[in-house]
Amino acid sequence: MPALTTTSDGFLLHGEPFRIISGALHYFRVHPDQWTDRLRKARLMGLNTVETYLPWNLHEPEPGTLVLDGLLDLPRFLRLAQAEGLHVLLRPGPYICAEWDGGGLPAWLVSDPDIRLRTSDPRFTDAFDRYLDQLLPPLLPHLAANGGPVIAVQVENEYGAYGDDTAYLAHVEEALRTRGVEELLFTCDQANAKHLAAGSLPGTVSGGTFGGRVDEHLAALRAHRPEGPLFCSEFWIGWFDHWGGPHHTRSAENAAADLDRLLAAGASVNIYMFHGGTNFGFTNGANHHHTYAPTVTSYDYDAALAESGDPGPKYHAFRDVIARYAPVPDEPAPAPSPKLPLTTVALDRRAPLLPHLRTLEGAVRGEDPVTMDELGAPTGYALYRTTVPAAGDGLLHFAGGVGDRAQVFVDGASVGVLERERHDETLPVRVPYAGATLEVLVENQGGVNYGPRIGAPKGLLGPVSFQGTVLHGWECRPVPLDDLEALPFEPSEATSDAVPAFHRGTFEVETPADTFLALPGWTKGQAWVNGFHLGRYWNRGPQHTLYVPGPVLRPGANDLVLLELHATTGTRVQLTDTPDLGPENHS
């Protein structure tokens, strides 16, 4: 018997009437030393439950290898949630959307390009089953049936927006059940008749995702399921941002009024997001509806807790609303955390990228370029090199475009950029002499996480030609970024040459605390503090600062490394006490 059961219009927990008042908090977007803090703040806002997805792509980076430590130590997160008195909703996918690289589906799944993702295709379901075989044993002790905090588990995610393979949904349900998951199961779909019909499963709760028009969406849920709990499984109280787009925000008053409507209607709710956190490293996803649009590094989401964990206006407004319907702890609301004093960091050592890569082993040689997926290194960057047999002015043509952004160099000098976002396939170049070197540095800017383009390949996607003649004899290599210590840094004042380079500096910290990295004069690249990969920066905005979690810093000397892909007008960066996520687009 699961701990959480349903009645004709609600839930019972251990037989007692229970309303889920939950907030989304993805452990993999928050530094593990901050989990306790965020969970405590969830409880203090009046939440009785937190919800998290599980990113399959991080938990199983290679087939058969389960990672469950550090940022991915889900059993620890569940223990901490329980210690805080919170219940947990788990959303193991396989697909999670979530503005997460590939919607959480591991890139290695598409090593068979014909695989039909999120269907009954046994190549897909077998891979998921094998993952569950490893994943579930360490999680089962944390299910409510075994005394843990997990009271419900989601099957797939918004499947009604994607497919209609009911046998596949039933397979996911069965895969969980046969491996010992006894808890209540639910699905989660956009709250309209079509999606609910295609994405729900008999015998499981149908949750709905929406941000407004509460009465209309609850009516759609009720029409779909005349009996049972009303559950808004994602109540969108903010939104995510794309590079080059606005920074989305939503007023606290507006979101709180809709929360009030939901609770007044007797519904259960999962606030998406209670705390968004950060797409650290290369974990951000992308959308592709007509055009490719990668998601920024911050997943602040204009949530109740800001990216740095500070309570925002929504935190206080939601707490007031919740207090009208449920007990809220009689403790003061949390205060913002201290921030590091303003600090300027001089980046006085430099290591140009392309000459360094030329010294490394490990290139794959072939007649034609291979994709990053075929190189076995789908995230980050790859460098492609060949020679051009003919001199002169002409068009360089990349058949099938690039995935996702390619910087082109002739004899080491930058000659232009192609972007998937603009559907670029050609670049005019001047080749000074026959036999000049052509190098193409390609960035995977994030795997599409919604719709039919999930799993689309990255890197160079087809033959490359110059003046109509296909170029052969390629050397293709991933760009290793896991050992920054191995980079050949040299002292440098240079700022002027526009070539990709690593830049490094040290700065002193007295007492570690949260801070925000501002990069005035820098263009586009990656940032690491003490080896922790903060993620991508881009002067295009809207995001102009990167969140640096306090636990990444240490008393004394700290190390900052940037990989700048283009140019910088200065040699300094700032650590500031205020985030700059861009001009707001209020809704």
CA 101 to chain centre: 6
Query: Is 91 or 350 the residue whose CB approaches ligand GLA more closely?
Result: 91
Closest CA to 353 of 433, 407, 404: 407
Q: How far is the CB of 255 from ligand GLA (least distance, A)?
A: 14
Q: How far is the CB of 91 from ligand GLA (least distance, A)?
A: 8
User: 189-211: buried (b, 16+ CB within 10 Å) or exposed (e) per residue?
Assistant: bbbbeebbebbbbeebbbbbbbb
Active site residue 361: no
Query: Is 128 or 466 the residue whose CB approaches ligand GLA more closely?
Result: 128
**Residue appearing with tokens 């989305």:** 248
Q: Which one-letter amino acid corresponds to residue 155?
A: V
Burial label, 498 (beta-carbon count in 10 A; 0-12, 13-18, 19+): middle
Polymer length of the chain: 587
- Site residues for ligand GLA per CB under 6 A: 96-99, 157-158, 209, 234, 240
Query: CA separation (Å) from 507 to 19, 262, 391, 529, 571?
Result: 49, 48, 48, 10, 14
Active-site residue, selected from the candidate residues 51, 60, 84, 158: 158
Query: Which pair of tokens denotes residue 202?
Result: 């008999």
Q: How far is the CB of 24 from ligand GLA (least distance, A)?
A: 9
- In angstroms, the CA 371 to CA 461 distance is 6
- In angstroms, the CA 553 to CA 346 distance is 17
**Residue appearing with tokens 């797939």:** 156
Q: How far is the CB of 276 from ligand GLA (least distance, A)?
A: 9
Q: Return the number of other C-beta atoms located less than 10 Å from residue 359's C-beta.
A: 7
Query: Is 209 or 445 the residue whose CB approaches ligand GLA more closely?
Result: 209
Residue-by-residue DSSP string for 250-314: --HHHHHHHHHHHHHTT-EEEEEEEE--B--TT-BEEEEESEEEEB-SB--TT-SB-TTS-B-HH
End-to-end CA distance of the chain: 43
Q: Are strands 532-538 and 524-529 parallel, antiparallel or unpaired?
A: antiparallel
Active site residue 443: no
Q: How far is the CB of 533 from ligand GLA (least distance, A)?
A: 23
Query: Is 103 or 505 the residue whose CB approaches ligand GLA more closely?
Result: 103
Active-site residue, selected from the candidate residues 84, 183, 234, 307: 234
Query: Is 455 or 525 the residue whose CB approaches ligand GLA more closely?
Result: 455
CA angle 118, 124, 130 (to 5 degrees): 125
Q: Are strands 524-529 and 556-564 parallel, antiparallel or unpaired?
A: antiparallel
Query: Is 211 or 394 the residue whose CB approaches ligand GLA more closely?
Result: 211
CA angle 210, 260, 304 (to 5 degrees): 70
- In angstroms, the CA 384 to CA 477 distance is 7
- What is the chain's percent helix, strand, coil content, to nearest 5? 25, 35, 40
Q: How far is the CB of 154 from ligand GLA (least distance, A)?
A: 10
Q: How far is the CB of 240 from ligand GLA (least distance, A)?
A: 5
Q: How far is the CB of 99 from ligand GLA (least distance, A)?
A: 5
Contact 274, 286 (CB under 8 A): no
Element holding 177 (H helix, E strand): helix 166-178
Query: Is 384 or 450 the residue whose CB approaches ligand GLA more closely?
Result: 450
Query: Is 240 or 384 the residue whose CB approaches ligand GLA more closely?
Result: 240
Query: Is 191 or 460 the residue whose CB approaches ligand GLA more closely?
Result: 191
Query: Which pair of tokens denotes residue 403?
Result: 């995935």
User: How would you write 189-219 as a 3-class SS string?
Assistant: EECCHHHHHHHCCCCCEEEEEECCCHHHHHH
Q: How far is the CB of 197 from ligand GLA (least distance, A)?
A: 17
Q: How far is the CB of 97 from ligand GLA (least distance, A)?
A: 3
Q: How far is the CB of 285 from ligand GLA (least distance, A)?
A: 8
- In angstroms, the CA 71 to CA 93 distance is 18
CA 459 to chain centre: 20
Query: Which pair of tokens denotes residue 133?
Result: 């075989």
Could you give the residue numbers annotated as active site?
158, 234
